[in-house]
Amino acid sequence: MITLYGIKNCDTVKKARKWLEKNGIDYQFHDFREDGMGNVPLKTWLDKFGWQEVLNRRSTSWRALTDEQKNGMDNDAAFALASETPTLIRRPVTTSGDTTHFGFKEAEFTQLAG
């Protein structure tokens, strides 16, 4: 089963959801805001990929951080900040089994859909 994590009004999440639906692929959607962060494997993502891959450093949320927060970023700080401000997470996050992708790339989705 594919799980797509994100925020429903994010344009990239909308593209990913549209692609999955157009290709008839079943998926479960987890909205960071509506469904909360309690069941999101954020710590696992950070441990496996590092904060540089998990956080979107081009986002408005990232730009709103202080220079001190940005310069002192590590996995623990990323976990604390992204738990409170999930818009820091690169979206969408798509998982299927042991495979995880950040962002939307059609080639990766084709592979994920198998």
pLDDT in tens, 87-110: 999 999 999 988 999 999 998 888
Q: Is 85 marked active-site?
A: no
Angle value at C-alpha 73, between 72 and 75, nearest 5 degrees: 135
3-class state of residue 85 by DSSP:
coil
d(CA 110, CA 33): 27
98 CB-near residues (< 8 Å, 6+ apart): none
Domain of 108, CATH number, reads: 3.40.30.10
Other Cβ atoms closer than 10 A to 47: 12
Say what percent of the chain tops pLDDT 70. Answer: 98
Looking at the structure of the chain, the number of domains it has is 1
Please name the amino acid found at residue 63.
Answer: R
Domain that holds residue 90: 2-113
Report residue 74's pLDDT band, with 50, 70 and 90 as the boundaries: very high
pTM of the model: 0.94
Q: Is the pLDDT of residue 111 over 90?
A: no
Catalytic residue (choose from 4, 10, 81, 112):
10
Task: Tell me the average pLDDT of the chain.
Answer: 95
